[in-house]
Amino acid sequence: MGGWFLDKILVFLIRTVLRDVREVRSWKWNRTEAIIDGSFAPEREYFPYASITYLYMIDGRGTRGPI
């Protein structure tokens, strides 16, 4: 049981560090407006998360991206 608990803590810490690194790197990005196209949150996840798709414009062309 102890190994299972440590695995869950490790997964949580890795996800947290990766999210923080992505956030800091994104501070240099150019800002733009976007429209949320859809979202998805899987059920029965031990560490819940949301996946979001959005629409935005680059050089006059519409582009779709995931978060």
* pLDDT tens for each residue of 32-53: 888 988 888 877 777 777 888 8
Q: Is residue 27 part of a domain?
A: no
| Structure token digits, residue 56 | 């935005």
3-state secondary structure of 4: helix
Do residues 35 and 52 touch, judged by C-beta distance below 8 A? no
**What pTM does this model have?**
0.51
Which domain, by its residues, includes 67? 34-67
Q: Is residue 63 part of a domain?
A: yes
Q: How confident is the model at residue 20 (pLDDT cuts 50, 70, 90)?
A: very high
C-alpha–C-alpha distance, residues 10 and 17, integer Å: 11
Q: Is residue 11 part of a domain?
A: no
Q: Is residue 66 part of a domain?
A: yes
Domain count, the chain: 1
Q: Is residue 62 part of a domain?
A: yes
Phi, psi of 7 (to 5 degrees): -60, -45
